[in-house]
């Protein structure tokens, strides 16, 4: 095997691992019902994987990995409309996180916070288009707070994970 094909093989393998990890975390999170009766209330633990991918493999890889995760989870466990909500959230949050990442002014906490907030905005946009009713945006203020706190949690978990991974290397 020459060097380039080795590089490709490594990339395929690591990307597959990232997608799989994200799917497992996302699925496990969906199994644990949160006692809060509010639509869109979740931690978004799978974003830990996206964040690690972003710092380790770069923006393009992080985007591919998280979009693949949402599509595969949707095909396996969800309805078509749930998958579309997931994709809207995923794409919105990716755009925000990649922009902030490239400014180099934010730490993982800020990037993760914007990811959480925009994920919710994306899902609300999908709900708005689907229900044809702009009043769904009335949920946004509460979801902004939930999303940013969830972002802080997942961001610090991703940071912790990466510091441990550094020791293994």
Partner 1 sequence: MDKTTKADRILFITVIVIAAILFAFFRFAVGGTPSEAVVSVDGRVAYRLPLDKDTSVTVDLDGKHNVISVEGGKVRMSEANCPDQVCVHQGEAYPGGPIACLPNRVMIQLSGTSTANNDQPDAVIH
The contact set with partner 1 (CB under 8 A) reads: 37-39, 55, 79, 81-82, 85, 103, 105-110, 113-114, 117, 127, 130-133, 135-136, 138-142, 144-145, 148, 152, 159, 162
Provide the minimum distance between the beta carbon of 3 and partner 1 in the complex, in angstroms, as a whole number. 28
Residue among 9 and 34 whose Cβ is closer to partner 1: 34
On the CB side of 36, CA atoms within 13 Å amount to 9
In whole angstroms, give the CA distance from residue 20 to residue 12: 12
Q: How many CB atoms lie within 10 A of CB 48?
A: 24
Provide the minimum distance between the beta carbon of 160 and partner 1 in the complex, in angstroms, as a whole number. 11
Residue among 22 and 151 whose Cβ is closer to partner 1: 151
In whole angstroms, give the CA distance from residue 54 to residue 94: 10
Residue among 51 and 91 whose Cβ is closer to partner 1: 51
Residue among 42 and 69 whose Cβ is closer to partner 1: 42
Provide the minimum distance between the beta carbon of 155 and partner 1 in the complex, in angstroms, as a whole number. 9
Cβ atoms 148, 112 nearer than 8 A: no
């Amino acid at each position: 095997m020459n060097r380039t094909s080795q590089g490709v093989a490594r990339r395929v393998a690591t990307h597959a691992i990232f997608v799989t990890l994200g799917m497992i975390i996302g699925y496990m999170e969906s199994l644990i019902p949160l006692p809060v009766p509010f639509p869109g209330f979740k931690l978004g633990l799978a974003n830990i994987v996206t964040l690690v991918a972003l710092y380790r493999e770069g923006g393009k890889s992080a985007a591919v990995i998280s979009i693949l995760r949402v599509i595969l989870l949707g095909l396996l466990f969800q309805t078509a409309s749930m998958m579309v909500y997931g994709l809207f959230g995923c794409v919105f949050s990716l755009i925000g996180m990649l922009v902030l990442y490239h400014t180099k002014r934010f730490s993982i906490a800020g990037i993760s916070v914007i990811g959480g907030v925009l994920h919710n905005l994306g899902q609300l946009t999908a709900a708005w288009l689907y229900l044809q009713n702009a009043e769904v945006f009335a949920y946004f203020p509460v979801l902004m707070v939930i999303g940013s706190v969830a972002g802080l949690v997942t961001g610090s978990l991703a940071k912790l994970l990466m510091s441990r991974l550094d020791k293994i290397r």
